Structure 1
Amino acid sequence: MVVVESKSKIKENCLSLICLSLIAMETVESILQYYQNTNKEIPTDILLPKGETSHFNILESMNCLLTFPYMRRNYYKICLVDNSLVYQMGDRKIEIDGPCIVFSNPTLAYSLERKYECNRRKGYICLFNEDYLTGDLKAVLLKLNALYQDDVFPYIKLTNEEYEMFSLYFKGLRDEYTGSFEYRKEIIVNLLRLIIYLAIKIQLQHCPELKQQDFSDRLVRAFMKLLDGQFPVDSPKHSIHFKTPAEFADKLNVHVNHLNHSLKTGTGKSTTHLIQERIVTEAMDLLKNTDWSISEIGNSLGFEYPQHFSHFLKKHTGQNPSFYKKANILNISAINKFS
């Protein structure tokens, strides 16, 4: 005998399905789309087959688009600007007036409105993708991100003197980028690291209380942000990138033992426990709220074989994936009956 859920429960499940669909429709701007949307010349390396090239560019900026729509970007951007800006992040609005340096990365969704079409003085826009990052550059970007709480947009207000100092370094990036020196990438990467370290130094001078924050706490926040950033999985064709403690430690540029110690101290749970806990939560959501096959769900969560996924879920929940999948089918039938 099939037990039909209450109308309120059915409605709740329907809303969950709608929310999942909206998440899957999230807009992410590619680096190619950035050039197209801003009417800038498209570098030739961008037009190569996807995945075959890294990309870096440094652009001078005087005339600016007045608005950028709300979305994530799948590239890193560092902007040196002297303007009045309004950033929107979720329900938070951040207003900036005057010289500043702004950092954005692929995890941030935001919109931007400029109050003036032109910067008060020449600025720069620096773009690069994940493939361009070296280990050293990843490490310093992590240190920068660790300074910011989740509710603070990564920007740093500058004095006129600091703005002019950064302008010289960005001009150096521009000169190297347009030059032909054999080791120009090495110079560019080191200049980027210098710019980021100087930004960290200035931010710590502006906010001395940040110096008192324990690095382990920042590491815990960085880990949780990286873990949560993989979810929800929006397509059966996509798979999570990090599943093991070693993979997370490598991405965060720390030893796996140090990561585990910090998480155990900060959360009371091991790295493995936190990862598995989050994967179980996502597995349950996908089994109950999508029409993906069990094989597709397992693959999207990093399991090479369906039987490995089944063993994992039964170990943590006491039931096989087919149990929850069957419940989902019954639930959909009930929804159709009452629609």
Structure 2
Amino acid sequence: MDLIVHHNISDLYRSLNLPLEQELDFTIHFLPDLHQKLPFKSPVFRADYFSFVFVKDGKGSYTIDDNTYPFESRTVYFTNPGHIKAFEIIQSRDAYIITLTETFLMENVHPEIFKEFPFLLAETVPPKTLDQEVYSEFELLYTQIFKEFRNPGKYQKKVLGNLFVVLLLKIKAYFWQDYNPIEEGDRNSQIVKSFKRLLEQQFNGLLNTGFEYTHTVQDYANELNLHPNYLNTVIKSKTGKSAHQWIAERLISGAKSLLKNTSLTVKEISIRFGYSEPNHFSRFFKNYSGQTPSTYRKNS
């Protein structure tokens, strides 16, 4: 039984009994208004949006995958899509939360958001507790964002995007100037681990009768509850190869194994991999291996 709740920003609104007039891609809220009865402990969930939390006066903890971090007053932290999360609020006198989607970031903040701000892909994100002077710089920005959010207008998204990019620049300057996604990907990237584990599961099922191979980035993104663009960006930034390349290489490896170790025909193998036309599979195989499936089998 799956006890993990999957939701987007609109689902978050519904779970908090907040008014919802349209699908949302950016919100900011005063946390004491959302959670008036404390302590509050959230269910375990997996969100498809980013959350940025600014705690001027409060304390609690949040969990990402298998890491739990306590936070206190004058804390700044963020979480990103795809991870299993939970949080507990013990005190919340003055705190704000910004939630926003990858689409909003690309359209209103920066078209190459993850190239400009690679720390947004960080998965191990301890909270940062600041001195009063530095925290005040962030407070000035997020309270202005809150003001703009409450005053809709023709250029609201652009205004919010421009204010938010200043916030990201401040975060980058103070906390994440030297962040290297490749280093994290080698050590403790949960998304990379989950993606590779799923690849192995698919590969290990290749010899099973009736196995149906999943080989598009969208398929893997669906399994991992991520946007396919985000999955591809995370995998490329942390391994040096795109998700598509990883999938293709695993598919070729599996195909070679079947060609070498079974009597399945090329047509049967192509169907096993989801290709209705053997010619399409043969073309794909040759593009990656330099020879046709029949030639590879003959020379193996």
1:115 CA displacement:
2.0
Superposed CA deviations along residues 100-152 of structure 1, whole A, max 9, x for unmatched, are 12212212221111222xx23x22121222332325536445555538764x2
**Aligned ranges for residues 303-318 of structure 1 at < 5 Å?**
308-309=280-281, 312=284
Counterpart residue number, 1:146? 119
1:181 CA displacement:
3.7
Q: Does 1:77 align with 2:51?
A: yes
**Aligned ranges for residues 242-281 of structure 1 at < 5 Å?**
252=233, 274-278=246-250
Distance 1:186 1:32, change over 3 A: closer
Q: Does 1:31 align with 2:9?
A: yes
**Aligned ranges for residues 1-339 of structure 1 at < 5 Å?**
27-42=5-20, 44-46=21-23, 55-63=25-33, 64=35, 66-81=40-55, 82-116=57-91, 119-120=92-93, 122-134=94-106, 136-137=109-110, 139-141=112-114, 144-146=117-119, 150=123, 152-153=124-125, 155-204=127-176, 211=178, 217=182, 232=198, 239-241=216-218, 252=233, 274-278=246-250, 298=274, 308-309=280-281, 312=284
Counterpart residue number, 1:7? none
Equivalents in 1 of 2:100, 2:229: separation in Å? 22
Give, as a single letter, the amino acid of the residue that structure 1 aligns with 2:106. Answer: T
Equivalents in 2 of 1:148, 1:134: separation in Å? 14
Distance 1:140 1:38, change over 3 A: same
Native 8 Å contact 1:156 1:199 kept in 2: no
Native 8 Å contact 1:139 1:252 kept in 2: no
Per the normalisation by structure 2, the TM-score is 0.62
1:198 CA displacement:
0.6
Equivalents in 1 of 2:59, 2:49: separation in Å? 23
Superposed CA deviations along residues 243-283 of structure 1, whole A, max 9, x for unmatched, are 9xxx979x759xxxxx7xx99xx87x899754523556899
Overall identity of the aligned pairs, in %: 20
1:194 CA displacement:
0.9
1:195 CA displacement:
0.8
Counterpart residue number, 2:265? none
Per the normalisation by structure 1, the TM-score is 0.56
Q: Any stretches of 5+ residues in structure 2 without a counterpart? A: 203-211, 221-227, 257-269, 295-300
1:30 CA displacement:
2.5
Equivalents in 2 of 1:183, 1:216: separation in Å? 34
1:309 CA displacement:
5.0
**Structure 1 runs (4+) greater than 4 angstroms displaced:** 140-145, 147-150, 218-222, 224-231, 233-239, 269-273, 278-284, 294-297, 303-307, 309-316
Give, as a single letter, the amino acid of the residue that structure 2 aligns with 1:100. Answer: T
Equivalents in 2 of 1:252, 1:78: separation in Å? 20
Native 8 Å contact 1:140 1:197 kept in 2: no
Distance 1:180 1:96, change over 3 A: closer
Native 8 Å contact 1:88 1:94 kept in 2: yes
Please give the root-mean-square deviation of Cα atoms over the aligned residues, in Å. Answer: 4.9
Distance 1:138 1:220, change over 3 A: farther
Native 8 Å contact 1:86 1:96 kept in 2: yes
